[in-house]
């Protein structure tokens, strides 16, 4: 059973989605995250063990590699797709409560900004780390962040902007969210942002890459327990 979990983790780390996938070349023809996750469930391995020992551990390695510039966006996207292929088999266990979510993260790209690659990548990475993602998409008005928080009062907020012309639209989101819950933790990210800007507009954390955001979320969860 441990061997299956190791295989799933390797598939996710190196981006082996399924048996038909030609990538990575050294794993061509082998079963991928899709088949192995299904096989693990059929073998009686608990969904929680698959999530923690297969997905979360692998995505932590992927995130660390990305932070250290050992891999780049294309490789990370393949890992995220492999993780998603495994997650499809685990989703029913989230809804039944067999898998306990670490927390909920509401994510969106700010009003006026239609870029979503960075947001989507972060969302997949965070989901692979055991969180529920509520993705509001792009061009999201401050009021929508606030209304969604009312529906999910314990959620974190993740706000993305990829343009210098739209990064100014993050502060109104923060103000709207604070009106709903002054203690809600708000993470911001995107190419034109930095920690100084995040502090200036009242955000709780600036994520320079997905892994730093995940580390922050995990630290907040740990402090509550």
Q: What is the CATH number of the domain that holds 112?
A: 3.40.50.280
Quote the CA–CA distance of 158 and 204 in Å, as a whole number: 10
Total structural domains in the chain?
Answer: 2
The model carries a pTM of 0.81
Contact 71, 58 (CB under 8 A): no
Q: What is the pLDDT of residues 124-166, one digit of tens each?
A: 888 888 899 999 999 999 999 999 999 999 999 999 999 999 9
Quote the CA–CA distance of 207 and 193 in Å, as a whole number: 9
Q: Which domain holds residue 141?
A: 104-224
- For the chain, give me the number of helices (H) and strands (E)? 10, 5
Domain final position from 33, 65, 96? 96
Percent of the chain at pLDDT > 90 equals: 72
pLDDT at 167: 96
Quote the CA–CA distance of 178 and 173 in Å, as a whole number: 9
Q: How many CB atoms lie within 10 A of CB 183?
A: 6
Same-domain pairing of 193 and 83: no
Quickly list DSSP for 106-164.
EEEEBTT----HHHHHHHHHHHHTT-EEEE--SSB-HHHHHHHHHHSTT-EEEEE--ST
* Residue 48 belongs to domain with CATH number: 1.10.1240.10
**pLDDT confidence band for 1 (50 / 70 / 90):** low
Q: Which residues of 145-174 are buried (b: 16+ CB within 10 A; e: fewer)?
A: bbebbeeeeebbbbbbbbbeebbebbbbbb
């Amino acid at each position: 059973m441990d061997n299956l979990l190791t295989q799933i983790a390797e598939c996710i780390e190196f981006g082996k989605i399924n048996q038909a996938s030609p990538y990575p070349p050294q794993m061509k023809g082998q079963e991928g995250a899709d088949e192995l996750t299904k096989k693990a469930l059929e073998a009686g391995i608990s969904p929680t063990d698959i999530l923690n020992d297969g997905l979360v551990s692998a995505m932590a390695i992927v995130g660390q590699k990305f932070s250290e510039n050992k891999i780049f966006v294309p490789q990370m996207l393949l890992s995220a797709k492999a993780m998603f292929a495994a997650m499809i088999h685990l989703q029913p266990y989230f809804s039944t409560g067999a898998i306990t979510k670490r927390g909920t993260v509401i994510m969106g790209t700010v009003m006026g900004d239609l870029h979503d690659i960075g947001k989507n990548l972060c969302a997949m990475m965070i989901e692979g780390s055991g969180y529920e993602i509520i993705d509001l998409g792009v061009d999201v008005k401050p009021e929508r962040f606030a209304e969604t928080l009312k529906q999910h009062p314990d959620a974190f907020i993740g706000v993305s902007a990829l343009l210098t012309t739209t990064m100014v639209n993050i502060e109104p989101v923060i103000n709207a969210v604070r009106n709903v819950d002054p203690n809600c933790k708000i993470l911001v990210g995107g190419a034109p942002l930095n920690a100084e800007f995040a502090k200036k507009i009242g955000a709780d954390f600036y994520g320079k890459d997905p892994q730093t955001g995940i580390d922050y979320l995990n630290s907040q969860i740990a402090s509550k327990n």
